[in-house]
Chains A and B, each alone.
Chain A
Amino acid sequence: MARREPALRGNGWLRLPFWLTYLFLYAPIAVLVVMSFNRNKTPYSWGGFSLDWYGRLAENSSLRTGLVNTLIVALGSTALSTVLGTLLAVGLARHTRSRVLDALSTLPAILPDLVLAIGLLVFYSAIKMTLGLHSVLVAHTVFGMAFVTAVVRARLGHADTSLEEASQDLGATPYTTFIKVTLPTLAPGIVAGALLAFTLSLDEFVIAFFTHAPSQPTLPIVIYSMVRFGVTPEINALATLLLAVSFTVVIVAQRLTKLTEAL
């Protein structure tokens, strides 16, 4: 084991808040997961193991609609964010020194979601645009793009410009250089940024709440209306499934970034 630093000795009491943090973070999740397998309808007494609630979930049509809507919004806004964000990152790193543009590109990530939400609501109403999946998709692109730009720029910071210069010196047009040299070196950053934009969009509630049409709710909005209604075992089952999905995505993303960094 590594040499222990003097600071660690005598600081045994730090372990208490350390473990308390992890208990605090995971106990609520654990309770939800256990309850989702409970046969009883009253959520608080154990009536034996059952998968009934998962079956119920499959029959819930509003959840299915919400899921489809969410996937449309997340895929569309991720595609748009990835293209716009990547171009922006390259432009900011290579073609301008403006600090104003730099700040503007990160603004959507810093701005409270509620402010962006009311801004877009007011804007859509001012131009008399009907709300629907497209209005949520555009709204999600605003912040998705900021995250893609940030991640790709971080990658650009490490990238070697000599390859691009060599390509230009050998007579390639800027366009060819961009497609054949810049993009491939940025690929891991682009993938990571796109994944980030996608997961953020999947879970986003506040902005969607303000910019969606009531007839086309996304999954978080369907969940919100269920949760407001009270505790049901069905939500526990849904929660467990969503937890499984996001845990898998995060762990796969971790592996992926490690893999691409090794390449």
Chain B
Amino acid sequence: MTPSPAGRRAAARVATLGPGFAFLTVFLLVPLALVLSYTVFRRGRFGGIVYEPTGENFARLADPLYLDVVLGSVRLAAVTTLLALLLGYPTAYMIARLPGRWKAIALVAVVLPFWTNFLIRTYAWIVLLNSQGPVNSGLEALGLGPVELLYTDGAIVAGLLYAYLPLMILPLYSAIERLDPQLREASANLGARPARTFWSVTLPLSLPGVLTGCVFVFVPSLGNFVIPELLGGGRRIMVGNLIRDQFLKARDWPFGSVLALAVIAVLVLLLFAQAWAGRRAGRNG
């Protein structure tokens, strides 16, 4: 007996989508649902969870101690994002204007360090910024040093920028590359100076790329716990460190879950902003 076409289609649907979504349900949706549910329960005395509903995990977010950590990390992540934008935009702009072959090489060169081990890339900055490292040797030769560079907020920002700069450049590049050069020519022909053209044509039209890049840099910067530990020497605690500690040291899973939820909320908010800007740019463009 041959199955009907409709039966075959249903079978094909189950065979292709079934295994993957079963896997994602068990190992992604259920874990996320667990984390979400833990936000409203009490912590156990020795870790784990006591299933008594409580609002105190959320209330602890307002504790000045934790608020400081959150605001401090938002500030460092924002500085990193701004620097990435200032460095990344002109770079992406230049790459988009390069002739074909050089464009490909310049793009690969941006991505290449990103494919090397993240810990090694962070370690490189310990070597660079150490009190006896090359940067300080240079400063000393100029009579300016040694300066304490490692274990500062500056070192953390340098490490975060180094880790995530390619994530800023790539979306910027694809946004700028897509722009029609005729728009800029038209603007120039109508008498606008290059700066005017940039501010009123190029930049607004590449805004979706700017926002994507900012989300790609800001969110992982906020959640990173390795760089503050290795380059900040543990003096600066960021949200990522706090979450790690709630799960692996303090064993306060409910509060850790609240912090994780806060990071997700920031991500969702930023993604909405980005989608909104994308639609707006699409309408105007």
Contact = CB atoms under 8 A, between A and B. Distances in A.
Interface string B235-246: 000001001100
Q: What DSSP secondary structure best describes chain A's contact surface?
A: helix
A24 B125 CA distance: 11
A144 B117 CA distance: 17
Nearest to B32: A119
Interface in A190-249: 199, 203, 205-206, 210, 220, 223-224, 227-228, 230-231, 235-236, 238-239, 242-243, 246-247, 249
A51 to B, nearest CB: 19
Residue from the set A22, A35, A243 with the largest chain B CB neighbour count within 10 Å: A243
22 contacts: A6-B184, A6-B185, A6-B188, A11-B194, A14-B93, A15-B94, A17-B87, A18-B90, A28-B127, A88-B17, A88-B20, A91-B12, A101-B21, A104-B24, A104-B29, A107-B24, A119-B35, A145-B23, A145-B24, A206-B226, A223-B117, A242-B116
Nearest to A200: B115
B11 A174 contact: yes
A49 B45 CA distance: 57
A107 B28 contact: yes
B223 A29 contact: no
Given A18-B91, A44-B134, A118-B243, A87 B113 contact: no
A250 B16 contact: no
Given A20-B87, A31-B124, A91 B263 contact: no
Interface residues of A, number: 92
Contact of B124 (A88, A114, A238, A239): A239
Interface of A: 1-2, 5-11, 14-18, 20-22, 24-29, 31-32, 35, 42-44, 83-85, 87-88, 90-92, 94-96, 101, 104-105, 107-108, 110-116, 118-123, 125-126, 138-139, 141-142, 145, 149, 173-174, 199, 203, 205-206, 210, 220, 223-224, 227-228, 230-231, 235-236, 238-239, 242-243, 246-247, 249-251, 254
Contacts of A7: 97, 181, 184, 188, 194, 197, 202
B210 interface: no
